Structure 1
Amino acid sequence: MQTTAQPHASPPAGAAMGPAYLIWMGVGLFGSLALFAGLILGLRATGNLPPPAFSNSLCADEKLSFMREHPAQAPNLLVVGSSVAWRHFDGQTVADKAPGVRPLNGAFCGLRANQAVYVANWLLDRETTVEQVLMIVDPLDFAGCSTVAAAVFDRRDADAYVYGQGSAWLPYMRYFTPGSLLRNARTVKAQRAGQVEFDPLVFNRYGDGPLDTRNSRALLYGQPDALDPTCFAALDSLAQRLKREGRPLTVVATPLHPQWKAEHDGDGRLLAAFDSALRQTLDRSGAQLWNADTEYQVGETAFVDAIHLRWSAAQALSVDLAARLAPVAEVAVVQRQ
């Protein structure tokens, strides 16, 4: 008589996970957490702990950390943009020259224009005392916007960290990237102490980032990419928002190194196109443009590289920036209308 073989019964789910397996899994998990905590605490103890990597850009993440530790005191002027806005604005000079102005430098390094607008919108939503906005730009900011995400960081996480005073430790777990953490740990202590001459992570009380050196480096920046309409559309969106809210916007095209212009824009077409596109964009909202590259006199010795001014030159420029801002009394009148 032929019989049919019976299939082997499958073991109950989880039967393979005996007590020993679960114990070793727990030991591994606990050990990993202990190593992580030890690494973070060790770096903190030596002053080498970088900020949480919200954007995975050390200078941008350090700015968020600074803002957490030094909350702005009812600012009424918000400065936005990339590194030229961060390093070319002296809040103390502006506060002295424009009585009643309380600046907050909300600029982050390495941003394209659409990313700077993303940050500006975040700060405008959080810093509700802001009455006017100053954006300092260069033509490199207005290239490649269509190729990068506007969101530099997750707003909810940044809110919790900067404004909600959430845990200082959980972001290290969420944004943990060992290679980046260790790479930044090698330099961040010296940068915070201002010992990395051309890349310091030093902030004054207003959030400005002085490049306080008498030396210069190579032009550093080469041929710029073509201007991107996506960048100007982002600027227009910010200008239109501020117009609706009755908050003046001033855009300043920063001075550029004469040698860089001669080498990379000898016929002046790029900068002429840049100026024209800025004016056409801002005309739609009535925002103010000051082209400091053509209207402000600055020599080659003022520059650290092709686009960055040393701090003494930034302080001098800030005197003229203060004069370009809307007077505090006039802003109040506009907002009441």
Structure 2
Amino acid sequence: MDELLNPSEVKASKNPPRRRALSRRSGGVAFIVTFAIGAIGTVLFAAAAIAALGAVDRLPAPPVNGTWCIDEKLAWMRANPELLESGVIAVGSSVTWRNLSFGEIPLKEREAVGGVANLAPCFLRINQTHELTNFLLDLSPGTHTVISVVAPRDFEACSTNATEFFDPELLESYLSGQVSEWWVYFRNLRAFTFIGDVIRLPDLSDQLVFEEFGSGPMFRDEPLLVGPARMEAACFDHLRRMATDLTSRGVKLVLVLFPFMPAWVESADSTGEQRAEFLTNVRSSLSGTGAVLVDATGMTFPNEDFADPLHLQWPVVPEFTGYIWERAFQGQGPAWSGYQRGASASIGRPGR
């Protein structure tokens, strides 16, 4: 017969496991409390850092996309929501952002088309321009015309640059003011990119200037050169889809071909092969879509009028804008009488 255990021995044998369970439970609580304190401390430290950077004008725009010039343009759009409702908007890469001066168009002509705005950011390829254009048209059903200025580099790397380069729900909430800028900093903050932007912000400040309609004036003492573009057939497919999409919406696409810089022609395309390929593919892509093609490649500007092969110096942008406007809106309002070379709209860094 098994030997019976003394009750006191039974009690003693059960106590050690209970004490160990209590010890584990108290350790778990301590971990949770420590984690919570650490998390709250991190948030408070980050908030204090963001506030301090804002106080000394070293705070990059909220990282909706994570690319400095795109985010700065989105911050400008958030600060100027009324311009998103314009009848005529410009969308594209920096070839569009920096080469239009809507302030030079007479007020009565801007009013006749329902207002104008340059909503182009930077670094976009044509597939991304298509994506952003659709998003902006969904926000503003009253927009009837989209202007996009393109160069061969707009037709590079469509296969490797993500078409969906922003979160539509986040961007809509951000532009409408439904979410705070602080929340965007915490949601999308990429530490290394953010720190790099903080360090570079003073050097980038002259590139982050917006005039009243959203264009970005470019000034450069010595023009820069770039090599030939590596265009992809897929990019021209995106252009055709963009044109047909806009036509189905009842929106007119005005596609403008940017002039070729003489020094670039000499150094990168002396045979004319790339220019011919570009012009042929653009015309083929737009054929039968209802889009308006403004071929400004025949405009002649000397090298000193270019900041680089993709951007004109700001003092000559009014002439280029007038050329586009007259051809885009021929017979749709008062004829534009010209421009005053050297005049420019007021400029300033976007409000936050």
Q: Normalising by structure 2, report the TM-score.
A: 0.83
Which of the numbers 244, 263, 274 marks the counterpart of 1:259? 263
Per the alignment, do residues 155 and 15 of structure 1 end up closer, same or farther by CA in structure 2, a change over 3 Å counting? same
Distance 1:75 1:160, change over 3 A: same
The reply to whether residue 302 of structure 1 matches residue 308 of structure 2 is: no
SS at match of 2:312: coil
Aligned to 1:275: 279
Closer, same or farther: CA 329–17 of 1 in aligned 2, 3 Å = farther
Q: Number of paired residues?
A: 313
Percent pairwise identity = 30
Q: Where do residues 185-334 of structure 1 align in structure 2 (5 Å cutoff)? A: 185-189=198-202, 191-192=204-205, 194=206, 200-211=207-218, 213=219, 215-219=221-225, 221-225=226-230, 227-293=231-297, 295-326=298-329, 329=332
1:136–1:252 Cα contact (<8 Å) kept: yes
Contact 1:136 1:251 in 2 (8 A): yes
Say whether residues 1:89 and 2:93 are aligned partners.
no
1:317 aligned counterpart, secondary structure: helix
For the aligned residue pairs, the C-alpha RMSD in angstroms reads: 2.3
Q: Describe the SS at the equivalent of 2:147.
A: strand
- Look up the SS of the partner of 1:15 in the other structure: helix
Superposition deviation, residue 303 in structure 1: 0.6
- Aligned partner of residue 181 in structure 2, secondary structure: coil
Q: For the residues of structure 2 that align with 1:246 and 1:230, how far apart are their CA atoms?
A: 25
Corresponding residue for 1:34? Answer: 44
What is the distance in 1 between the residues matched to 2:197 and 2:269? 35
**SS of residue paired to 1:30:** helix
Q: SS at the partner of 2:60?
A: coil
Structure of larger gyration radius: 2
Deviations 1:225-256 (A, max 9, x none): 1x212211211112112212222211111012
Query: Does the aligned pair in 1 maintain the 2:77–2:119 contact within 8 Å?
Result: no
Q: Gaps (5+ residues) in structure 1?
A: 1-7, 195-199, 331-337
- Residues of 2 paired with 1:229 and 1:94: CA distance? 36
CA distance in 1 between counterparts of 2:72 and 2:216 reads 11
> Structure 1 residue 97: deviation in Å?
8.3
Alpha-carbon shift at residue 46 of structure 1 (Å): 0.9
Task: Give the direction of change, closer, same or farther, for the CA distance of 1:202–1:16 in structure 2 (3 Å limit).
Answer: same
Secondary structure (helix, strand or coil) at the match of 1:207 reads: coil
Partner of 2:91: helix, strand, or coil?
strand
Instruction: Between 14-23 and 29-38, report the one with greater CA deviation.
Output: 14-23
Q: Secondary structure at the match of 1:114?
A: helix
Q: Could you report, residue by residue, the CA deviation over 1:12-53 in whole angstroms, capped at 9, with x for unpaired residues?
A: 697363433232222211111111111111111111110122
**Partner SS, residue 311 of structure 2:** coil
Greater mean deviation of Cα atoms: 230-239 or 321-330: 321-330
Contact between 1:47 and 1:189, CA under 8 Å: does it hold in 2? no
TM-score (norm. length: structure 1) = 0.86
Aligned partner letter, 2:45:
L
